[in-house]
Structure 1
Amino acid sequence: MMRHHPIDANQLSQKWDVIVVGGGINGSAIARDAALRGLKVLVLEKEDISSGTSAWSTRLIHGGLRYLEYFEFYLVRESLAERERLLRNAPHLVKPLGMAFPFYKQNRRPAWMIRMGMILYDVLSYDKSLDHHHILSPQQVFEQVGALNPEGLSGAAMYYDCQVAYAERLSVENILSAKEQGATFLNYARVKRFILDGNRVCGVEFEDLLEQKTYSVSADLVVNVGGPWVDEVLKGVGKPLKRLIGGTKGSHLVVPVFPGAPKIAVYFEARADGRPMFVIPWTGRILIGTTDLPYQGDLDHVEIDDEEITYLMNETNGIFPSAQINLDKILYTYSGIRPLPYVGEKKTAAITRRHIIHDHTPEVEGLISIIGGKLTTFRNLAEQCVDLIGKKLNRPLKPCVTNKVHLPGAGEGNFVEFQNQFIAKSGFERDIASHLTEIYGARAEKILALIQKEPKLKERLHPGDTTIGAEVIFAFEEEQAETIQDVLLRRCMGGYNDSAGLNILDPAIQIAGDYFGWDKERREQEKEAYQKYIQRYRPKLLRQP
């Protein structure tokens, strides 16, 4: 397949300060921070931006209430501080979310323990803009939260965290920001091996998976941010290194809003095993998750199993009896691997969610690997990593500014005012205008400019769907998409509609094909590739006879 964004071999021939392997949230954030501090950065991603773990989370920006149980006070404080920064720096993507923790007689954690945790949570978020926690009576639970199971219910604690409906867009905007500062990003570029000079990594060899070409690039330092693939990437060193990742599998269900569904997120103890569970309003649907299971399977194809589906359905039906979720009501699922540190046989819930920045010195010089980390704390991880890069390069760097510099879609003014004006004056129907500002933020104006040149791109891809034709072209032209899969699942986010994008697949291919002159073979390849990939979601449309 020919690249939409050709690789410039001459550009690659320069010596880079840093090569970042991995284009998920942590890799993209490290690239952004490094570029903002004056480093020459190359990012190599074997698939696409945020196509791995970053896309499979519960989509929360949160302090991690449950981490208090394991006395990880620093992690909670760090997460709460980063949550506040994201509310300021990415207001189009990160939104406040009310949450309720119900008190049930059968809970393994008594109500007094949860109340103490809530007080501590408030103390650790002393500088927050969100409200403090409140205690709700059973009647208030039914009125303000939803139709929870009344059996054994004595009330609930209500508090606030945040939701990032489309976590993929955080990675996209970090990459866009990095590129604005001179970084180069290549997707579908799989690192095959490290180039060593004695004991020092001095570059990598990578394969262009689209055009089947191989390139060698040199750098002073390489950062391995492969997520669950960290150990796989390290095989390219050519000698045995200790295992770093002990990944656990997390799976989710997506279902339509059901009678009595929660108005805010519900965070509760699973009755089967006591582990934390969420039932969350999400993009007009309900998101249910998650599991936490040791995983030894194929990292490139992770799929929910029947036992997980049964577990998640039973737990949801247990706390929301009116839900009556069965297989037929599941729109689709998604699963991924948490890149947690390898700790042997330790209980999965007890494995730390803190990140580890692992310097391979003295075993291997010029190589850093990132282990673990939360979606919420990506910015702080990146800052710490680039601080270390500066020390290892023995080079003074510009100060870190990511704590105050907005992501591109946030714009410079008041985002709510911008959104209201865009909805009122853009000429789009309200649902489309709202969708565009929630996906692209202030960059939605670029979509509008594209439509002024090509008015036919204003049309919806499918009746009732908010994705429009201009988004397909914009993804290729402005956001470095290479395939329709990139467009639907990680740019316009239409792949997360009720049909997992299958109802807008043909129109998206037709628009891109006509605009860019794709032949019949390319169009068929795009359709076949998307349908094959989306099968792992087990979408309802593909389950029907």
Structure 2
Amino acid sequence: MVEREKLLAGVQQRPFDVIVVGAGINGAGVARDAAMRGLRVLMLDKGDIASGTTQWATRLIHGGLRYLEHYEVPLVRESLKDREILLHIAPHLVKPLKFVVPIYERSSRGPRMIRLGMIAYDTLSYDKSVPNHKMLSREEALREYPGLNPDGLLGAATYYDAQVEYAERIAVENAVSAVENGATVLTYAEVTRLLFEGNGSRVVGVEFRDRLSEDGAVYSAHAPVTVNVAGPWVDRVLGGSGSVSVETSENGGSDSGRMIGGTKGSHIVVDPFPGAPKNAIYVEARKDGRPYFIVPWNGLYLIGTTDFRYRGDLDYVKATEDEIQYLIDETNFVVPEANLSRDSVLFTYSGVRPLPFAPEGSEGSISRSHVVYDHAKGKSAAGGRIKVHGGGSPRAEGLLSIVGGKLTTYRNLGRQTTNVVYKKLGVKPPKSATDRIPLPGGKTPDLSEFSEEFRQRSGLADVLSRRLVRLYGARAYDVLAEAGDDDSLKEPLTDDLRESTALLGCEVLYAFRREQAQKLADVLLRRTMVSYGPHVALDVDEAAARVCVEHLGWSEERARREVEEYREWIERYTPKAFREGVAAG
């Protein structure tokens, strides 16, 4: 914590060009782009990197096939272009994924409509490295995907998008790269208010509270431009300014002044099941016609998502039993052999999309595009054509807010936002390089060759070497180096030797020393990713805390407290492991 104290003390004296509020994928993308172009960047978040919306995504890097029916052609093209870029700059994290779209008599879109959509999708992704779509007859579909419900099946279409199994690590690597390019990143630093000058006409910085200090010490930081990229919490950041009242229904008020009107999306995670597809299924739900996914993921299956208006607590979002049953029922209908039950669900997760507030219209029709909103002008300075409600209060120079956006297009959002920041500073922006320079783990000419070399030279069992390359890519050697001469740190902390569960002690140290982790939960949920294994890390949390006691100087009291905090937090995932007593004692 000594290094953190130095950072906090220095922030008040150091001049910054831009303050980024929010360290989700979009905030981290803005921070990386701005730092790589030479700006002095401070990024703050009230939690950890990627601890909000980013960690609750469906984990797809996709063009948004269904956006075509809402005529969002520019968004689809932008997404498909960024999909291809991510396949190259983060090959360890982003990989091609084949999808099948079964077409039923009950489907709102018949074979002709699906075929036209697929042709348009291929046309818009003219620079792609993945195969084109293919239409399948009923017989071909059942032969290739025998688990599909044959009742009323007319045929199917297959196409390719991409998957990022660990969306959190994309954000972490963006933040790490930002720091390596000179940015200052402070997590658990909650912005409590915007700082104004000139009778409230200009934002000149922020005041924030250190959530890791016992006394909640308050600090201030100054910059000519502040970017509010807090996702679903955008309105809360604006409301904390003291100069504007942003009442939301979340707090029992009206929708007056509201910019964000997020919808809730929930997922369930299950073990492989009878009839499970070898590729991803993209299908319409019977009950409401909403498209959802059944995706092979992390050695398990990820099923989701729902899409409902959300008015509850943004800091505690949990899948309801109705949502869970909805996803179970729909899966059992599409794959009759699955026979899933509530007991089949290993865990769930749920989050709120940072979509623009829309008083009317269905949830699925709300645009997934984004705008960089300039509060001085009261309108968008970059991005798509989204109507921003609530007047974009407060009307002040030096303040930008990001409304909307999605995981796939974070890099382009970062580029556009940094361009606007430079314009605000009155300086011509250098060209962005985030489309060419790989993320830290992607810096290898050939990931396959690197993976084989690491397997041979690391001295690890194959499952462990695969795990490290899959998570850390080209930095797998750096992770292993944290073990030093202590071979025990190269041993799994669990008896379950799967890639998703076999946490090494050296990974824990790497997370704290090299990847901005501050808490045990940060390590388990958003660095080593073992929280998304079948046991949600309840089989390794105590062992990981023990590593911190022995190698980072934690007290026994801190270790106990951090384990308790993690277990309390993970309850919202309704983990089956709790019921089975994995965390007993």
TM-score w.r.t. structure 1 length? 0.98
Partner of 2:165: 165
Structure 2: tracts of 5 or more residues without a match: 247-256, 378-394
User: Are 1:419 and 2:461 counterparts?
Assistant: no
Q: Give the root-mean-square deviation of aligned CA atoms.
A: 1.2
Taking a change above 3 Å as real, the CA distance of residues 146 and 182 of structure 1, as seen in their structure-2 partners, is farther
> Once structures 1 and 2 are overlaid, which stretch shifts more, 283-292 or 4-13?
4-13
Q: In the TM superposition, what is the alpha-carbon distance from 1:11 to its structure 2 partner?
A: 4.3
- The residue identity in structure 1 corresponding to 2:245 is P
Counterpart of 2:203 in structure 1: which amino acid? V
Task: Give 1:241-390 correspondences, 5 Å limit.
Answer: 242-362=257-377, 363-390=395-422
User: Which amino acid is 1:406 matched to?
Assistant: P
Q: Deviations over 1:255-302 (max 9, x none)?
A: 000011010000000011111010000011000000000000000000
- Return the alpha-carbon distance in structure 1 between the equivalents of residues 309 and 113 of structure 2: 28
- Identity over aligned residues, as a percent? 50
Show the counterpart of 1:156: 156
Q: Which amino acid aligns with 2:510?
A: F
Other-structure match for 1:177: 177
* 1:125-204 map, 5 Å: 125-198=125-198, 199-204=201-206
Alignment match, 1:117: 117
Bigger drift between 82-91 and 136-145 goes to: 136-145
User: Which letter does structure 2 place at the counterpart of 1:226?
Assistant: A
> What residue in structure 1 maps to residue 428 of structure 2?
396
Query: What residue in structure 1 maps to residue 210 of structure 2?
Result: 208
The aligned residue for residue 252 of structure 2 is: none
Partner of 2:51: 51
1:221-259, Cα deviation, whole Å (9 max, x unpaired):
100000000000101222136211001000000000001
Classify the secondary structure of the residue corresponding to 1:201.
strand
Structure 2 counterpart of 1:250, one-letter code: G
Report the AA paired with residue 207 of structure 1: R
* Cα distance in 2, alignment partners of residues 66 and 269 from structure 1: 11
Q: Match of 1:101?
A: 101
Are 1:228 and 1:247, in contact at CA under 8 Å, matched by a contact in 2? yes
CA contact (8 A) 1:190 1:207 kept: yes
Task: State the shift of 1:544 in Å.
Answer: 4.4
Distance across 2 between alignment mates of 1:120 and 1:348: 24
What secondary structure, in the 3-state scheme, does the structure 2 residue paired with 1:91 have?
A: coil
Match of 1:497 among 499, 510, 533: 533
- Partners of 1:175 and 1:3 lie apart in 2 by 20
Match of 1:219? 223
Tell me, yes or no, if the aligned pair for 1:25 and 1:54 is still in contact at 8 Å: yes
Take 1:188 and 1:228, find their aligned partners in 2: how far apart are those partners?
Answer: 17
Counterpart of 2:486 (choices 442, 445, 454) is 454
Q: SS of the counterpart of 1:191?
A: strand
Are the structure 2 counterparts of residues 50 and 255 from structure 1 closer, same or farther at C-alpha, using a change threshold of 3 Å? Answer: same
**Which residue number corresponds to residue 235 of structure 2?**
231
Counterpart for residue 32 of structure 1: 32
Q: Which amino acid aligns with 1:352?
A: S
Contact 1:138 1:156 in 2 (8 A): yes
Paired residues of 2:231 and 2:404 also in contact (CA < 8 A):
yes
8 Å contact 2:441–2:474 — kept in the other structure?
yes
Whole-angstrom CA distance in 1 between matches of 2:376 and 2:133: 45
* Counterpart amino acid of residue 216 in structure 1: S
Q: Residues 49 and 146 from structure 1, CA distance in 2 versus in 1: closer, same or farther, beyond 3 angstroms? A: farther
Partner of 2:73: 73
**How far is the alpha carbon of 1:3 from its aligned partner?**
6.8
Q: Distance in 2 between matches of 1:477 and 1:32?
A: 19
- Cα drift, residue 4 of structure 1: 6.9
Structure 1 gaps, min length 5:
none
User: Secondary structure of the equivalent of 1:85?
Assistant: helix
Contact preservation (8 Å) 1:146, 1:263: no
Residues 3, 210 of structure 1: 8 Å contact kept: no
AA of the residue aligned to 1:460: P
Q: Distance in 1 between matches of 2:305 and 2:2?
A: 36
* Alignment equivalent of 2:550, drawn from 492, 508, 514: 514
Amino acid at match of 1:458: K
- Aligned equivalents of 1:5, 1:503: Cα separation in 2: 30
User: 9-18 or 379-388, which moves further after superposition?
Assistant: 9-18
Deviations 1:413-459 (A, max 9, x none): 11121112212321111111111101000000112222343211011
Equivalent residues, number: 544
Alignment match of 1:472 (pick from 504, 508, 516): 508
Q: Distance in 1 between matches of 2:365 and 2:52?
A: 23
SS at match of 1:159: strand
Q: Which stretch shows the higher mean deviation, 515-524 or 307-316?
A: 515-524
